[in-house]
Amino acid sequence: MNESQLQTFLTVSKYRSFSKAAVILNVTQPTITSRIKALEEILQCQLFKRIGHEIYLTEEGNMFIDYAKNILIYIKHSKEITNMVKDPVIKVGFSPGYSYSFIIELLKTIKSIGNIEVQVIEGHDSVSLNERALSGDVDLIFTRKILSNNHDIVSEHLFDNKLVIVLPNRHPLADKETINVEDLSGETIISFRRNSELWKLIDQQLIAAQDITRIDVENNEMMLRAVTNNIGIGILPELGIDNRYRTEVKVRNIKEIHNIPNEVYVQYRKNSQIKNLAKKIIYSIINHKYEEVH
């Protein structure tokens, strides 16, 4: 059983066609047939059956799909052994919304450990980061969506990253002790990646605010700059507020928005090298959260 056989099986199962699989994999159709036959001989079962001109997976074939995917992932991971015995490289992924000062704490921790190369990746959202962790493309991720029932990934809850509103210092609402969603009526609301699942939950709570104007920006940095220039009010997780802006803005809670679940999970692959690095990084992140935010 080898990579080409497994990849061929998955391609045929996806497109239900030997000829299409041959085109996609850039091989001849007899090669596809030969690989599937060899795989069936190893597994001692039939993976596909023909009904008329159509190709269907057998019951055994359906069961083998997940096994084939996992075997390919393990093969990919095993190829990293040569690199793992050298100076370690760790790929760390964040879901959107973390401040630069928060990520800087991560980089400081990694630098203090020494002899580590790091790649910091900002994912489009938690779902895409989870997929990259499953495929082995990222070693350690911080997301708001947990990967459940996966024995290859360690998942740990860190803390809640509550949503807050950020106001210019001289904004009229900055002097109010209690702010309600209705108080945002007529305001300009600045968002960051409003098409995310988190912002869908926020928008459900903002229905009570009338005549609001929307501005969606590229990142937290742009949002905070817009707020400090009196363009509007920002809504973001409290760990998204970079330390540089804390004297220039007022941070307030709105109960309905503050109560939206936004938990931070750290998830990493199960191997001793990543586990040891992950623990040190996690401690740094927790310390930053409670020292800077609270």
- Here the CATH number for the domain that contains residue 136 is 3.40.190.10
Which domain range does residue 241 map to? 163-258
* C-beta separation of 165 from 254 below 8 A: yes
For residues 61 and 172, state if they share a domain.
Answer: no
For residues 212 and 224, state if they share a domain.
Answer: yes
Distance, CA of 35 to CA of 10 (rounded, Å)? 12
For residues 55 and 136, state if they share a domain.
Answer: no
| The total number of structural domains that make up the chain | 3
Q: Select from 64, 53, 54 the least CA-distant residue to 8.
A: 64
For residues 135 and 281, state if they share a domain.
Answer: yes
For residues 267 and 155, state if they share a domain.
Answer: yes
Tell me how far the alpha carbon of residue 152 is from its chain's centroid: 16
Q: What pLDDT, in 10s, does the model give residues 14-56? A: 999 999 999 999 889 999 999 999 999 998 999 999 888 888 8
Q: What pLDDT, in 10s, does the model give residues 238-282? A: 888 888 888 889 999 898 899 888 888 888 877 656 777 777 777
| The model scores a pTM over 0.85 | no
Higher pLDDT, 177 or 222: 222
270 residue type, one letter:
K
For residues 143 and 172, state if they share a domain.
Answer: no
Dihedral (CA of 100, 105, 106, 107) sign: positive
For residues 156 and 275, state if they share a domain.
Answer: yes
